[in-house]
Amino acid sequence: MKKTLPLLALLGAMLSGFLSAQEARPNILFVFSDDHAPHAIGAYDGWLKKVNPTPVIDKLASDGMLFVNSFCTNSICGPSRAVIQTGKHSHKNGFMNNGNTFDWNQQTFPKLLQKAGYQTAIYGKSHLKGKPQGYDDWAVLPGQGLYYNPDMIFPEGRKRIDGYCTDVVTDLAVGWLRNKRVAGKPFMLMVQHKAPHRNWMPALRHLDLYDDVEIPEPPTLFDEWKDNAPAARLQELEIDRHMDLNYDLFLDLTPEFNQPPSQLRQDRSAWHNMKRMSEEQLKKWRAAYGPRDKAFHEAKLSGKDLVRWKFQRYAKNYLRCVKGVDESVGKLQETLRQLKLERNTIVIYCSDQGFYIGDHGWYDKRWMYDESLKMPFIVKWPGVTKPGSRNTDLIQNLDYAQTFLELAGTKLPEDMQGKSLVPLLKGNTPKDWRKEIYYHYYEYPSVHMVPRHNGIRSKRHKLMHFYQFKDEWELYDLKNDPDELNNLYDDPKHAQLRKRMKARLEKLRKHYEDESDTSVKPDLIKKYRPQS
């Protein structure tokens, strides 16, 4: 006669099986910085690798998979984040530039993860305005936030937290892992740093980092944009003409500073932040920058020598901010190890877009040129991603939402426009994987005056259309011209390539249902742009 388990034992077995299934679903730790260019990560083998800027993130790459061809859909902070939340291009999620307000009532992947049984939390920079939805716990910076003693907005209200912003955000995330996480329940934790966003204010402990190092110059530091469309010559993001010695590079900067900015749209957040610093913080800050300022005044630099000085000052501060983020990645992983969560947690490092660190003589982002189009994406999935692997498939931030949802074992919404990266993480590339990525930038007129443009990029070629003022195009062969210095658009030898790429651009535009107005508006030339 067959024995029957008592009802209580049967229920216990069922519950145990359910919990095992829950625990088997991976946790997700998504560390997300702001404006961290891939070439400022050692593992990406860029020209800044020589100064070893990111040893911890490099180790993450050696333990997992690095995506070589990772791109954004719209190279600016808020829109990039909105794309990640929704899995939809900017024209679909309604957040096309930083002046927009994100509609938190729409479908987002954190909401869907909650429905699938995940515990969710976000700490740091949101930049989407409004109160985050889809998170069990959160604390976000108002707008860009401050580097020192930042205000944070919690569900119960706004309060100041003393300390350095990267450390504050990290500590909030570590506190959640230790004290608020529900044991046995899968989680998705987003740790979103302000750094290394402008104005590049490093932590006090990093103020002297790189003092004895000469940062390598990018090969295009003195680019004159001779072969670009006129847009490249009429921007406002040059280290030479537009980077402010005081507000961007802290020359002589004190809370009492009252000199007007050199540019109409100058970011003065560093000056405002100094007014919130403690006496001890200010003392250490001036002790570090005072002697450097004195040496600058004595040198009486001009021309290319001045540009080189500005580049060194900028690049060192940028990389000092990166150092804090790198340390954060280490602290978060050590916390996972201590809590015995390491084996079942996927750790992802990413940033909202790339950035110009003197490349083409610029700072900031926005353009479709590779330095700002590319974004880092590194994933450690214990037991799944092959350690030290490098993937060359074309991916975008458009793909993250569906990736997270597949990891959670939940249904993928049909209206999301990306592709799950799970097959790639397992070492398999689907036969129908994309051959080009689509890009569209909308924020003009605005800070840095980069005009609206769209385009496509394949592994080898790129086509860009600057449509606001004239019918301006750029076409590049990235294999032979990785720095994008030789515009092939008007070259008769590449007529067929031009035709093919334009057809592909139109096909992708229709595929993603982008009905944005791309008609030329000559009347804007007189209003916003000097004649080229």
Distance, CA of 230 to CA of 16 (rounded, Å): 65
Position 395 pLDDT exceeds 70: yes
Specify the CATH number for the domain of residue 473: 3.30.1120.10
Q: What is the pLDDT of residues 180-220, one digit of tens each?
A: 999 999 999 999 999 999 999 999 999 999 999 999 999 99
Task: Look at residue 337 in the predicted model and tell me its pLDDT.
Answer: 98
Distance, CA of 21 to CA of 24 (rounded, Å): 5
Burial classification of residue 261, based on how many CB atoms lie within 10 Å of its CB (0-12 exposed, 13-18 middle, 19 or more buried)? middle
Q: What is the pLDDT of residues 137-147, one digit of tens each?
A: 999 999 999 99
DSSP class of 322:
H
Is residue 268 assigned to a domain? yes
Question: In the chain, how many domains are there?
Answer: 2
pLDDT band at 523 (very low <50, low <70, confident <90, very high): confident
Cα–Cα distances in Å, from 127 out to 79, 111, 375? 9, 18, 18
Task: Look at residue 530 in the predicted model and tell me its pLDDT.
Answer: 62
Is residue 521 assigned to a domain? yes
Is residue 200 assigned to a domain? no
pLDDT band at 3 (very low <50, low <70, confident <90, very high): very low
User: Do residues 89 and 398 touch, judged by C-beta distance below 8 A?
Assistant: yes
Percent pLDDT > 70 in the chain is 95
H/E stretch holding 477 reads strand 472-477
pLDDT band at 392 (very low <50, low <70, confident <90, very high): very high
Task: Look at residue 7 in the predicted model and tell me its pLDDT.
Answer: 53
- Where does a domain end: 265, 286, 313? 313
Q: What is the pLDDT of residues 330-341, one digit of tens each?
A: 999 999 999 999
- Where does a domain end: 278, 313, 348? 313
- Where does a domain end: 248, 283, 313? 313
Which one is predicted more confidently, 445 or 417? 417
| Averaged pLDDT, 353-375 | 98
H/E stretch holding 274 reads helix 269-274
Which amino acid, residue 385?
T
Is residue 114 assigned to a domain? no
Is residue 451 assigned to a domain? yes
Q: What is the pLDDT of residues 28-46, one digit of tens each?
A: 999 999 999 999 999 999 9
Position 429 pLDDT exceeds 50: yes
Q: What is the pLDDT of residues 213-253, one digit of tens each?
A: 999 999 999 999 999 999 899 999 999 999 999 999 999 99
Position 9 pLDDT exceeds 90: no
Task: Look at residue 531 in the predicted model and tell me its pLDDT.
Answer: 52
Q: What is the pLDDT of residues 463-488, one digit of tens each?
A: 999 999 889 999 999 999 999 999 99
3-class SS letters over 507-522: HHHHHCCCCCCCCCCC
Is residue 92 assigned to a domain? no
pLDDT band at 281 (very low <50, low <70, confident <90, very high): very high
| Averaged pLDDT, 394-403 | 98
Q: What is the pLDDT of residues 284-325, one digit of tens each?
A: 999 999 999 999 999 999 999 999 999 999 999 999 999 999
Residue-by-residue DSSP string for 345-382: EEEEEEESS---SSGGGB-S--SSSHHHHB--EEEE-T
Is residue 24 assigned to a domain? no
pLDDT band at 527 (very low <50, low <70, confident <90, very high): confident
> What is the spatial order of strands in the sheet that 65-67 belongs to?
157-160, 151-154, 137-141, 119-125, 187-192, 27-33, 345-351, 377-380, 65-67, 389-391
Percent pLDDT > 90 in the chain is 89
Q: In this structure, what token pair is assigned to residue 469? A: 């003022």
Is residue 185 assigned to a domain? no
Task: Look at residue 532 in the predicted model and tell me its pLDDT.
Answer: 45
Q: How many residues does the chain have?
A: 532
Position 5 pLDDT exceeds 60: no
For residue 33, the cross-strand partners are 351
Q: In this structure, what token pair is assigned to residue 218? A: 């990018």
Q: Which domain holds residue 261?
A: 232-313
